[in-house]
Amino acid sequence: MGVIDPIRASVPVPERAPLVALARRITIAVGLLFVVAFAVLATRGGYVDETGQPVGLLDALYYASVTVTTTGYGDITPVTAGARLTAILVITPARVAFLLVVVGTTVELLTERWRETLRHDRWSRRVRDHHVICGYGVKGRSAAHALAEGNADSDRSDIVVVERDPEAAQEASGDGYTVVNGDASRTRTLLEAHVARARSVIVAPDRDDAAVLITLTARELAPDATIVAAVREQENAHLLRQSGADAVITSAETTGRLLGVTSHNPRIAAVVTDLLHTSQGLVLVEREAEPDEIGRPLGEAHGVNLAVVRHGTLLRYDDAAVEELVAGDLLLGLPAPSD
C-alpha cells in the first residue's frame, strides 16, 4: 500500500506488491545493460576506442550504459560491418526496451496517482450514511470488525477510520477500510471523513480527554448522527454525554464487572461474548412493536425482549411502564425463532 496522505481519505484498493514490480523492472534494465555489453565484447574487434586501447569488459559496460541511456559520447564507435549490424539488431532494440522500462515506470507512477485521486473524488461524491470510527486501537478495531460482520453485504470502504498514528492508519487501510490519517478532534479531519453525512460516529481514542474533544467536534459538525463514545473511567462519562454523545460505554468498569460476575459463573462470559459477535450465535436486535403486541405486556411480545425504547427513553424489562406496549415502542432483545 502507498503512504497515506495527511488529512485525506485513502480509499482501499486491492493489495499489490509495488516493490516486487519495481525490483523486476530494475532487473530487466540491468539485464539489458549486460546484453549490450556482451554484444560489444563479442564483436570487440569492430570497435575503435579513441584512446587506442582494445575494448575490454569495463569499456563494454561503459559503452552499454551511455548507449541505452541515449547519452552517446562517441568515444567508442563501431567501424566494421559486423559491429554495425550488431548495433542494429541487438543494441538498438535493447536501447528501445530500456527506454520503455524507464518511461513505463514513470507513467505508471503518474497514472496510479491519478487513479488514486479519481477513487477519492468518486468516494467523496457517493459516501453517505456511513460509519466514522475515531481511533483504531483495540476498541476502534473491534468496533470496525463488528460493523463489518453485521453488514456482510456492505462495502468496507463505507467504514471510515480516523487515526492520527500512521502505522495504525496503514493497518486499517490494509483491513479494507477507508482511512483519514489525522487528528479526529480537528474540524478539517472530520470534514474529510464527511462526518456531516455519517449515520454514526464511534469515538474510541486511548484517552478520555481526547474522547471529549472529538465528541464535541463531531456533534457540532453532525447534529443528526448517532455518537457512541468509550471512556476508561466512569467519572468522565457525564462529560461525554454533555458533549453530545448519545451513548457512553465505560470500558474499564464494564470489563471489571464482567470479570467479577464471571468469577462466580464462567459460562456467563461465553453468553455475553456470543451476544457481542454479530456474525454468529445469539444476536440482539431492535425492532418496532407489531400491531398485535400493542396493549400487551412486554413479557407477551414475540421473542425474548429485554428493554423498550419509548420516546427516546430506555425502559428495562422490569419497569412498570412496560406492562403495556404502545404504538411506536422499540423492542430490544432476541428475535423469535421464526424470525
Helix (H, G, I), strand (E, B) or coil at 155: coil
- 189 in a structural domain: yes
Residue 2 pLDDT = 42
Is 165 in the same domain as 91? no
DSSP 186: S
Grid coordinates belonging to 137:
486501537
Claim to verify: residue 208 and residue 249 sit in the same structural domain: yes
pLDDT at residue 60 tops 70: yes
Ramachandran sector of residue 281 (left: φ over 0; alpha: ψ -120 to 50; beta: rest):
left
How far, in Å, CA of 175 to CA of 171, rounded? 6
Same domain, 192 and 246: yes
Instruction: Give yes or no: residues 140 and 113 share one domain.
Output: no
What pLDDT, on the 0 to 100 scale, is given for residue 4? 47
Answer whether 108's CB lies under 8 Å from 178's CB: no
Decide which of 145 and 134 is more confident: 134
Pick from 214, 238, 257: which residue ends a domain? 257
The tens digit of pLDDT for each residue in 258-273 reads: 777 777 777 776 777 6
Q: Determine the pLDDT at residue 216.
A: 95
Is 249 part of a structural domain of the chain? yes
Among 85-89, 137-141, 217-221, the range scoring the smallest mean pLDDT is: 85-89
With 0-12 / 13-18 / 19 or more C-beta atoms within 10 angstroms meaning exposed / middle / buried, residue 196 is middle
Residue with cell 567501424: 79
pLDDT, one tens digit per residue, over 181-222 is 999 999 999 999 999 999 999 999 989 999 999 999 999 999
Task: Report the pLDDT value the prediction gives residue 1, as an integer from 0 to 100.
Answer: 42
How far separated are the first and last CA of the chain, in Å rounded?
A: 42
- Within 8 A by CB and 6+ apart from 251, the residues are 139, 230, 231, 232
Helix, strand, coil percentages, rounded to 5, for the chain: 55, 15, 30
pLDDT band of residue 275 (cuts 50, 70, 90) is low
Entry pTM: 0.58
Beta pairing partners, 227: 201
Quick check: is 248 in a domain? yes
Average pLDDT (61-66) is: 78
195 lies in the same domain as 135: yes
What does the DSSP 8-state code read for residue 6?
Answer: B
Give whole-number Cα distances, 339 to 296, 307, 335, 336, in Å.
20, 18, 6, 5
Angle at 152 between CA 176 and CA 195, to 5 degrees: 60
Indicate whether 276 belongs to any domain. no
Greater model confidence, 158 or 199: 199
Per-residue pLDDT tens over the stretch 9-53:
666 655 555 566 667 777 877 887 888 888 878 887 777 777 777
Is 133 a residue whose pLDDT tops 90? yes
Please compute the mean of the pLDDT values over residues 120-129 and round it to a whole number: 82
Query: Where in the sequence is the domain holding 178, given as residue range(s)?
Result: 128-257
Domain count, the chain: 3
The neighbouring-strand residues paired with 180 are: 9, 162
The pairing of beta strand 76-78 with beta strand 47-49: antiparallel
CATH at residue 39: 1.10.287.70
Kindly report the CA angle at 156 between 152 and 160, in degrees rounded to 5? 135
Host H or E run for residue 55? none
Q: Could you tell me the CATH number of the domain that includes residue 149?
A: 3.40.50.720
Residues 233 and 143 in one domain: yes
pLDDT at 283 over 90: no
Residue 316 in this model has a pLDDT that exceeds 90 = no
Domain boundary (65, 93, 125) is at 125
Kindly state whether residue 270 falls inside one of the protein's structural domains: no
Question: Coil, strand, or helix at residue 282?
Answer: coil
DSSP output for 299-313 = GGSSSEEEEEEETTE
